[in-house]
Amino acid sequence: MKSIENLVRENILNLTAYSSARKEFSGIDGVFLDANENPFGDKNRYPDPYQKILKKELSAIKNVPIDSIFIGNGSDEVIDLAFRIFCTPGVDKAMTFSPTYGMYDVSAGINDIELLKIPLKNNFQMDVKSVEPFLKNKELKLIFICSPNNPTGNLLNEEDILFILDNFKGIVLIDEAYIDFSSSNSWSEKINQYPNLIILQTFSKAWGLANSRVGFAFSSSYIIHLFNKIKPPYNVSGLNQNSAVSALQNIENFNKNLQTILQQKEWLKKELSQLEIIQKIYPSDANFLLVEVENADFIYHELVVRGIIVRNRNNIIRNSIRISVGNASENQKLINALKEII
Ligand SMILES: *Cc1c(COP(=O)(O)O)cnc(C)c1O
C-alpha cells in the first residue's frame, strides 16, 4: 500500500486516532462503567463505532468483505473525509465532470481544495482525452466520477472510467448513489484490482432511508482503515444503524419498491413525452428524469404555485428541470399540473 500511503496527508498519517471506550471492549455483556453514560433508559449507550452488524448484513448483500466497507453519516460525510485524508488545503486539487452533484464543489470549498471542473460532452459522457494531460499533475489527488450522474441521469461509459483508472495514480471515487436503479453492475467488483478506487453508495435513494443519513464506501482495506482513523467515533447513530439493518433484512420490500419506481418512471416518461411543453426527455439510468422545456423558470414557479416541487436546473443545463419519480398519485398530480400550465 506504499503507493496509496504517498497520497495521504502527512498529518493524517501521523495522527493518533481517538480511542473510544467502546472500541476497546467489543463484548456485548458486561457492566459498562467506562463511557460516562447514564445507566437508565433504552438509548443510553453509545452505538457501535464500527457498525459491525450493519456491515455484516451489507457485506452479504453486496458481496464485499467487511474490512472493505466504511459506513458514513450519509455519503456526504464520506466525500468530506476523502478530501480530508488525501487533499492538503490550499495546495492539492480534485477533479469533477460537470454538471454533477453539488456536494463535491461545496466539500472542496470547505476544505480549500481547488476543483478542476471538466465539462461533460454534449452526450453527457466524459471527454477523457481532454483530461489526460491533467492526470500526471502531482497536485491532483482525487477524481470524482458520478455514475449514474446527477443531474443528467446517465451512466458514464465503462471504457472511459477504465481509462481514468488505468492512467491516474491518485484516488478515483465513483459515486454510485443511483446504481440500483440502473442495469449496470457496481464498480465494487474492481476494488481488488485498483487499490486507489473508492465506491460510494447510499441508503438515501433506492433503500428509501434518506431520513436516516447512512452512506457507505467500498475500498481497499488500507483506505477503509484511513476513513476509520479520522471519522468522528460515533458517526452513525444507533437508530440509523438499526434502520439500515432492518432495510437490508427486508430485501423483498426493497425489490418491490424498486420495481414500482422503475414502472412509474416508464409511465412518467410516456406521459411527459405527450406534453407539448416537454421538449426533450434525457435518457435516465436513475430514479429521476431530466427534461428540457421552453422556459424552465416559468414552469418551475407554476408547479410551485400548484404545490409541486421539482428541481429547476436551468442555471446548470439551460431550461432543464429534474423530476424525481414519485408514487403513482404524485406522478399523476405532476402530469395534471403540467397539463394545466399549457
Ligand atoms: C443523493 C445523492 C447522494 C446521497 O447523499 P447522502 O448523503 O447519502 O444522502 C450521493 N451522491 C449523489 C450523486 C446523490 O445524488
C-alpha dist (Å) from residue 11 to 8, 84, 86, 88: 8, 10, 10, 9
pLDDT in tens, 215-245: 999 999 999 999 999 999 999 999 999 999 9
How far apart are alpha carbons 99 and 217 in whole angstroms? 23
C-beta of 204 in contact with ligand 1 (< 6 A): yes
C-beta of 106 in contact with ligand 1 (< 6 A): no
Rounded to an integer, the average pLDDT of 192-209 is: 98
| CATH topology for the 2-14+50-249 domain | Aspartate Aminotransferase; domain 2 (3.40.640)
User: How long a stretch of residues is the chain?
Assistant: 342
pLDDT, residue 29, reads 79
C-beta of 285 in contact with ligand 1 (< 6 A): no
DSSP of 259-328, one letter per residue?
HHHHHHHHHHHHHHHT-TTEEEE---SSSEEEEEES-HHHHHHHHHHTT---EE-TTTSTTEEEEE---H
DSSP of 99-160, one letter per residue?
S--HHHHHHHHHTT-EEEEEEP-TTS---HHHHGGGGG-TTEEEEEEESS-TTT-PPPPHHH
Between the CA of 285 and the centroid of ligand 1 the distance, in Å, is: 15
Give me the residue spans of the domains in the chain: 2-14+50-249, 252-341
Between the CA of 207 and the centroid of ligand 1 the distance, in Å, is: 12
pLDDT at 26 over 70: no
Angle subtended at Cα 230 by Cα 238 and Cα 23, rounded to the nearest 5 degrees = 50
Name which of 211, 194, 109, 100 is nearest 148 in CA terms: 100
C-beta of 172 in contact with ligand 1 (< 6 A): no
Query: At 222, which helix (H) or strand (E)?
Result: helix 221-230
C-beta of 175 in contact with ligand 1 (< 6 A): yes
Residue whose grid cell is 481514468: 164
C-beta of 215 in contact with ligand 1 (< 6 A): yes
pLDDT at 2 over 80: no
Rounded to an integer, the average pLDDT of 29-43 is: 93
Is the CATH number of domain 252-341 3.40.50.20?
Answer: no
* Minimal-distance CA residue to ligand 1 atom 15: 150
- Which residue among 79, 204, 216 has the greatest number of ligand 1 atoms within 8 angstroms of its CB, and so is best to mutate? 204
How far apart are alpha carbons 167 and 146 in whole angstroms? 18
Between the CA of 101 and the centroid of ligand 1 the distance, in Å, is: 8
Give me the percent of the chain exceeding a pLDDT of 90.
95
DSSP of 38-77, one letter per residue?
-SSSSS-SPPPTT-HHHHHHHHHHHT--GGGEEEESSHHH
How far apart are alpha carbons 201 and 184 in whole angstroms? 14
Reported pTM: 0.97
Between the CA of 158 and the centroid of ligand 1 the distance, in Å, is: 21
